[in-house]
């Protein structure tokens, strides 16, 4: 523009929208209520302490989707406008901060680029858009019962599983491969596992071995208490 002898030239951002889709890695179902932050990368590698936080507390909807075009009321510190207007060219990434109690939290930066390619060959009437499809693994804790000498998988070992917060109990039994997936396990809770029945041909330890463990947000297990031993002797009761 020109005014009073001054020629003013303005640069305008090309803006593109971004869509994040979160799904279960097994069922492929969408994951609602996944919380994450969006950053603009300023160096060669992501660094949340250095990079520009565009917005935090962003949440996927009922079908596991979040779209920047629906982020009205969220300011974009880079463009000085609304996040719903889109993102200018550059390097960005999402960092997950919460994904619910039944899936593993994955805080690996999920990177994407907005470049000139996002603004070419766009169907008429559609906005430039980048889409990320990211899967979360369900939390799974597997119990395995083996012979301490031969390494043979032991079928038919029975355990009582207790949720130490809700005090609920259920019985689980190892299958023909010596393993069983513990049902109903969620992150942020502690559990007690007590052997109550030895496999066929083995004698249950009279101390009823037990272990207590906590499931972390990333699906890892930390053991908080281990008492006695899980070793069963072979033979029949009354024999030496």
Q: Which helix (H) or strand (E) holds 39?
A: strand 35-40
Task: Give the Cα separation of 87 and 69 in Å (integer).
Answer: 10
Closest C-alpha among 112, 107, 96, 113 to residue 31: 96
- pLDDT digit string (tens) for 193-223? 998 998 988 888 766 668 899 999 999 999 8
Task: Give the Cα separation of 148 and 25 in Å (integer).
Answer: 34
Specify the pairing of strand 129-136 against strand 17-24. parallel
Averages of pLDDT over each 10 residues, the chain, 240 residues = 62 80 96 98 96 97 95 92 93 96 95 80 68 95 87 91 87 93 93 90 74 92 65 45
**pLDDT for res 211:** 87
Q: Are 83 and 55 in contact (CB under 8 A)?
A: yes
């Amino acid at each position: 523009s020109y005014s009073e002898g001054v020629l003013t030239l303005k640069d305008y951002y090309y803006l593109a929208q971004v869509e994040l889709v979160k799904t279960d890695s097994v069922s492929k179902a969408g994951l609602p209520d996944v919380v994450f932050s969006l950053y603009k990368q300023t160096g060669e590698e992501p660094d949340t302490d250095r990079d520009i936080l565009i917005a935090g507390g962003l949440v996927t909807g009922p079908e596991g989707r979040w779209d920047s075009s629906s982020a009205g009321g969220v300011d974009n510190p880079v463009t000085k406008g609304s996040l719903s207007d889109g993102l200018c060219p550059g390097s960005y990434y999402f960092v997950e901060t919460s994904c619910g109690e039944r899936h593993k939290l994955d805080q690996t930066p999920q990177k994407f680029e907005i470049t000139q390619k996002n603004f070419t060959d766009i169907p008429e009437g559609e906005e430039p858009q980048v889409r990320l499809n990211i899967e979360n693994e369900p939390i799974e804790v597997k119990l395995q019962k083996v012979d301490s000498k031969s390494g043979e998988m032991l079928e038919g070992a029975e355990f009582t599983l207790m949720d130490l917060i809700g005090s609920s109990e259920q019985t689980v039994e190892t299958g023909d491969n010596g393993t069983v997936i513990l049902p109903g396990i969620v992150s942020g809770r502690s559990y007690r596992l007590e052997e109550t029945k030895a496999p066929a041909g083995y004698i249950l330890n009279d101390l009823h071995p037990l272990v207590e463990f906590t499931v972390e947000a990333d699906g890892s297990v930390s053991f908080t208490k281990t008492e006695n031993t899980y070793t069963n002797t072979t033979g029949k009761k009354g024999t030496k």
